[in-house]
Chains A and B, each alone.
Chain A
């Protein structure tokens, strides 16, 4: 094996060096990484930092602040166990939906942040999978209501009543898409991604927040669907074991 090279020092029996830049990878999209450089570095980069000191009081203050944030002190970022922010909104077919009313009638409500032009959403419809339509199909009879929330601002990609009506039809969505153009609902929940997922239990309490599944790529749905897992547990009256995951996907295209 090779002898590592040390920066600014011993070069000696350095075994090999390979610098080459791919300026134009012809079979790749021209807008991609136009240079990928390989270089020999060995262990040369490990270095040790100095040790500035800071009074304990400062650290303690920041740590306290951090604890507050953990408890969910940040406004507009709902956590599991919080009362879900209520809303009333009309869908693309003109039907009104009120969260509190749905809960009152015994429904578990699943909110799916939605944008039909986001590849992380697209992968859940059609050839690659049918994640959300399957949730609607398999859980509607079990008292679950699925709502797609589009919090994109007016004029942003994937927004507008006409476009969303068309998408709903093309993607055979048997559940509503609501247009939250002001972003009020999205901000109240702290939704940042499409598809970010929230499950609100019958009592109006947030029971799950996070990703739809465990595949953060844009090609195919994951093997573990966190939302159906949580729904199965809620329906069975059990505790949701994985109640919080990190959502993935595109950013929600808020208007301002």
Chain B
């Protein structure tokens, strides 16, 4: 299955939830995908086997303790040699629990599930040590001390790499890549930085607006690394 990034082929799973009145849905949080390069310089970001997506929901206080049913419509591609498009619908039946409830009947150890899933998500770039990121109009540069491999996986929230095949992954401590031009739909750089180095495999979410040209060198880092 595909990540919601600038893939050269395929498409990410889509789903629509019909939420009760007063509820709102946040940006889906996708785990770190695998960068896959196929003959013909086709670069995709994929999940193998299964993937769990986290969907933040904002719930009215009054809903606490009540049962809820949320209809969900889904579309997805399952790919091997070729892709098979599928679609379906289901209803999520849930009990809205209080945050401090130690155990709630029908809810399977929520904290443990959450913690496990969060380990698979990219961490905010602010938590990175030994990694320097510079991004501006047309370019991205990542330096990671002692890195064996650096990857940048661009999200659809931001611009694409101009040459993902040649510049999306490097062996060594510096990744320098050209970026596509920002526009209304892709106002900045957004994506996952993956580093394989002395500390093992690390993955961080990096996001920076390119709205102002002045930002290109003056304040090279920044933005809110809010996972989508």
Binding site for B on A (CB under 8 A): 1-5, 11, 13-22, 25, 27-29, 31-42, 45-54, 56, 58-63, 65-70, 74, 115, 117-119, 151, 153, 156-158, 183, 186-187, 190-193, 216-219, 248-256
Cβ–Cβ contact B220 & A53, under 8 A: yes
Cβ–Cβ contact B42 & A15, under 8 A: no
In chain A, what residue has the closest Cβ to B62?
A15
- Least Cβ–Cβ distance between A49 and chain B, in angstroms: 5
- Report chain B residues within 8 Å CB of A15: 59-64
B105 interfacial by beta-carbon distance below 8 Å:
no
Cβ–Cβ contact B117 & A52, under 8 A: no
What per-residue 1/0 map shows which CB atoms of B215-228 lie under 8 Å from chain A? Answer: 01101111111110
Cβ–Cβ contact A21 & B113, under 8 A: yes
B90 interfacial by beta-carbon distance below 8 Å:
yes
Cβ–Cβ contact A27 & B90, under 8 A: yes
Residue from B44, B94, B217 within 8 A of A38 (CB atoms): B94
- Report chain A residues within 8 Å CB of B136: 59, 63
- Least Cβ–Cβ distance between B190 and chain A, in angstroms: 12
A-B contact sample (5 more), CB < 8 A, given A22-B92, A25-B88, A38-B57: A15-B59, A16-B61, A40-B56, A40-B99, A153-B39
- Least Cβ–Cβ distance between B177 and chain A, in angstroms: 7
Chain-A contact segment, one of B78-86, B147-155, B195-203: B78-86
- What are 15 residue pairs bridging A and B, where the CB atoms are less than 8 Å apart in the complex? A5-B99, A11-B100, A16-B99, A19-B111, A28-B90, A33-B76, A40-B99, A41-B26, A45-B56, A51-B220, A52-B134, A54-B134, A54-B220, A65-B178, A119-B77
What per-residue 1/0 map shows which CB atoms of B39-64 lie under 8 Å from chain A? Answer: 11110100000111111111111111
B173 interfacial by beta-carbon distance below 8 Å:
no
- Report chain B residues within 8 Å CB of A40: 56-59, 99
Cβ–Cβ contact A52 & B132, under 8 A: yes
- Least Cβ–Cβ distance between B49 and chain A, in angstroms: 9
Provide the main secondary structure of the chain A interface: loop
Cβ–Cβ contact A38 & B55, under 8 A: yes
Cβ–Cβ contact A17 & B97, under 8 A: yes
In chain A, what residue has the closest Cβ to B174?
A58
In chain B, positions 119-137 with a C-beta closer than 8 Å to chain A are 124-126, 131-134, 136-137
How distant is the Cα of A184 from the Cα of B189 in the complex, in angstroms? 34
In chain B, what residue has the closest Cβ to A32?
B76
How distant is the Cα of A219 from the Cα of B87 in the complex, in angstroms? 10
- Report chain A residues within 8 Å CB of B94: 18, 20, 38
- Least Cβ–Cβ distance between B98 and chain A, in angstroms: 7
In chain B, positions 19-50 with a C-beta closer than 8 Å to chain A are 22, 26, 29, 38-42, 44, 50
